[in-house]
Amino acid sequence: MRTLVSGRRGPLARLLAAVALALLLAAPEAGADEFITVASTTSTQNAGLFDHLLPLFEAETGIEVRVVAVGTGQALRLARNGDADLLLVHDRPSEEAFVAEGFGSARFDLMYNDFVLVGPSADPAGIAGLGDAAAALERIARAEAPFLSRGDDSGTHRRERALWQAAGNDPGAASGTWYREAGQGMGATLNTASMMEAYTLADRGTWLSMQGRLDLGVLVEGDAGLRNQYGVTLVSAARHPHIKAEPAQRFAEWLLSPAGQAAIDGFTIGGERPFIPNAHWTRDESPG
Amino acid sequence: MTDIGEAFAAAFSLVYHLDRDLGEIVLLSLQVSVGAVAVASVIGLPLGAAVALFRFPGRGAIVVVLNALMGLPPVVVGLVVYLVLSRAGPLGVLGLLFTPTAMVIAQVFLVTPIIAALARQVIEDMWSEYEEQLRSLGATPRRALGALLWDGRVSLLTAVLAGFGRAIAEVGAVMIVGGNIDHVTRVMTTAIALEVSKGDLALALGLGIVLVALSIAVSAAVALLRGTLAQAQAR
């Protein structure tokens, strides 16, 4: 018990002090004074769009943009709780509901791409080349061919459910058999679908960034029901006064302006444009 | 199985090129987890020792609860901390959500029970061994608490290391309260989860290899320290 009374600094105390000092010194610098938090979707992040856009905007304005990429459902919930200053998602009905309920002050079309129905080259349900996505789903259901759903309440998942509804089919009853719910992001779902030789609905951006690694092909595309519109929604400062409304509005305006639209237009993956800008906004109708 | 080969290549290339983003992510991982373990030790070690030494009604229940809390699911802890730190939550005004501080807070809840439960066992064993001796020297449990914590420091390091292992490896809690924001709250585990969701399995596994190497390095450092401590104690 001699050490009980020893007042000497042992190696433990010295090491702890050294670690504490090293971590303090290495503490990240405060960063830009001004930053906004954008709640967005995994599809835009996974395609790499923000890595392309944000440096351009930050260089122009000095405003740091922090992106929290989650499913559209969770992104809406974050914004509803006042945990995001701006919303960039792809489920127009719920974006409009968000504004109608007073959580958002305005919503604008930003860009679009489309969803594609992808599947194994064996194509057991025989849907290749169909022009009608709902009819293709109908065939998959009839053939009870494996279909992998996102199952995560994302924008893509919401669209998939809408398509099933249009096909007059409720695959939920078959969940666990030929209809499987991954509960994962788009990339992980595509990987799993590839390994399971299953059909799945994917957004074009993620598909383009991953297609080289997958044993899947695009089987159905071009249906009007597969259009994927992204929107920017301003979070209402009336509901959440702490929202950084002013810089968030600057970012929204930049995205919708010719400069932002050109930046989206200039983003390519392997020579293809995953997102096509289609904002029809002029500075006169200022957002917010 | 080409993915596994690619993963080692990716891990090697990340480290070899001293990838700047990787450095940032590794550093933040260490800051968050070491910070959480430091706070959890300050709470958990005395707490565990107190439960070991004092006799009070409900003590048995506390021991059971402490042991059970070692298995707290990170996602649930993340969700609860999110609800508290969210702007709509009771501590929303602090604006801590999506910051490294929020990640430390969540991990403290995960790590404290581990450190406290393991410390309780260590201290209880020491107390049953030395109780007579200490009592004959006039030590009460209250006065023995600090002494036993200090004397058991070599064994308690294992408790702290177990806590660190939990903190550095968990993804569920830091993902929810940190948001996995590039250059702000992205740590090793959330970066791995992101690469999995992007479908870049090789890079994900490569990052995983770096994480395991990091854990081994920390564990080796602790083993060295323990050796030094044991020597110092023997002298």
CATH 3.40.190.10 fits A35-113+228-277, yes or no: yes
Is A186's CB within 8 Å of B197's CB?
yes
Indicate the residue of A81, A191, A206 with minimum beta-carbon distance to B87.
A81
Is A12's CB within 8 Å of B229's CB?
yes
If phi > 0 it is left, if psi is from -120 to 50 it is alpha, else beta; for residue A147 that is beta
User: CA B167, B172, B175, B177 torsion: positive or negative?
Assistant: negative
DSSP of chain B: -HHHHHHHHHHHHHHHTT-HHHHHHHHHHHHHHHHHHHHHHHHHHHHHHHHHH---TTHHHHHHHHHHHTT--HHHHHHHHHHHHSTTSTTGGG--TTSHHHHHHHHHHHHHHHHHHHHHHHHHHHHHHHHHHHHHTT--HHHHHHHHHHHTHHHHHHHHHHHHHHHHH--HHHHHHHTT-TTTT--HHHHHHHHHHHT-HHHHHHHHHHHHHHHHHHHHHHHHHHHHHHHHHH-
User: CA A138, A139, A144, A149 torsion: positive or negative?
Assistant: negative
Q: What is the mean predicted confidence (pLDDT) over B162-168?
A: 96
Contact with chain A for residue B199, Cβ under 8 A: yes
Two tokens, residue B80: 């609860």
Is A81's CB within 8 Å of B197's CB?
no
CB pairs under 8 A between A and B: 96
Of B11 and A146, more confident: A146
pLDDT tens, N- to C-terminus, chain A (288 residues): 444 434 455 666 776 777 776 666 665 544 546 899 999 998 898 888 999 999 999 999 999 999 999 988 999 999 999 999 999 999 999 999 999 999 999 999 999 999 999 999 999 999 999 999 999 999 999 999 999 999 988 889 999 999 999 998 889 888 889 999 998 888 889 999 999 999 999 999 889 988 988 999 999 999 999 999 999 999 999 999 999 999 999 999 999 999 999 999 999 988 889 999 999 876 655 554
CA triplet A93, A95, A101: central angle to 5 degrees? 100
Greatest pairwise CA separation for chain B in angstroms: 67
Two tokens, residue B143: 């006065």
Q: What is the mean predicted confidence (pLDDT) over B178-187?
A: 94
What is the per-residue pLDDT for A1?
42
From chain A, the residues in CB contact with B100 under 8 A are 28
- Yes or no: say if A94 and A107 are a contact pair by the CB < 8 Å rule: no
What is the per-residue pLDDT for A27?
56
Of B139 and A243, more confident: A243
Least confident of A125-139, B52-66, B68-82, B136-150: B136-150
pLDDT at B170 over 70: yes
The pTM of this model reads 0.85
The Cα B193–Cα B176 span in angstroms is 12
Taking only the tens place, the pLDDT of each residue in B69-102 is: 999 999 999 999 999 999 999 999 999 999 999 9
pLDDT band of B166, cuts 50, 70, 90? very high
The Cα A122–Cα A116 span in angstroms is 17
What is the per-residue pLDDT for A76?
95
Is A242's CB within 8 Å of B180's CB?
no
pLDDT band of B228, cuts 50, 70, 90? confident
Contact with chain A for residue B9, Cβ under 8 A: no
Is A1's CB within 8 Å of B197's CB?
no
User: Could you report the predicted ipTM of this complex, rounded to two decimals?
Assistant: 0.81
Indicate the residue of A66, A190, A213 with minimum beta-carbon distance to B184.
A66
Tell me, rounded to whole angstroms, the distance of Cα B1 from its chain centroid: 33
Q: What percent of chain B has pLDDT over 90?
A: 67
pLDDT band of B5, cuts 50, 70, 90? confident
What is the per-residue pLDDT for A11?
67
3-state secondary structure B160-229: HHHHHHHHHHCCHHHHHHHCCCCCCCCCHHHHHHHHHHHCCHHHHHHHHHHHHHHHHHHHHHHHHHHHHH
Least confident of A116-125, B4-13, B139-148: B4-13
Contact with chain B for residue A183, Cβ under 8 A: no
The Cα B96–Cα B79 span in angstroms is 14
Q: How far is CA B117 from CA A258, B40, B145, B163, B166, in A?
A: 60, 12, 15, 11, 14
Is A19's CB within 8 Å of B184's CB?
no
- CATH 3.40.190.10 domain extents, chain A: 35-113+228-277, 114-226
- Mutation pick from B31, B87, B226 vs chain A, by most beta carbons of A within 10 Å, is B87
pLDDT at B62 over 70: yes
3-class secondary structure, A146 = coil
What is the per-residue pLDDT for A55?
96
Contact with chain B for residue A94, Cβ under 8 A: no
Which residue has tokens 């309260």?
B177
- Domain of B120, in residue numbers: 2-234
What is the per-residue pLDDT for B204?
86
Number of domains in chain B: 1
Two tokens, residue A248: 């968030």
Q: CATH: 3.40.50.720, 3.40.190.10, 3.40.1690.10, 1.10.8.60. Which one for A114-226?
A: 3.40.190.10
Least confident of A219-233, A261-275, B9-23, B134-148: B9-23
Residue A225 has what DSSP assignment? G
pLDDT at B19 over 80: no
What is the per-residue pLDDT for A58?
95
The Cα B41–Cα B36 span in angstroms is 8
pLDDT at B38 over 50: yes
Indicate the residue of A3, A27, A210 with minimum beta-carbon distance to B233.
A3
Return phi, psi of residue A161, to 5°: -65, -40
What is the per-residue pLDDT for B8?
81
Of B212 and B17, more confident: B212
CATH number at B169 reads 1.10.3720.10
pLDDT band of B11, cuts 50, 70, 90? confident
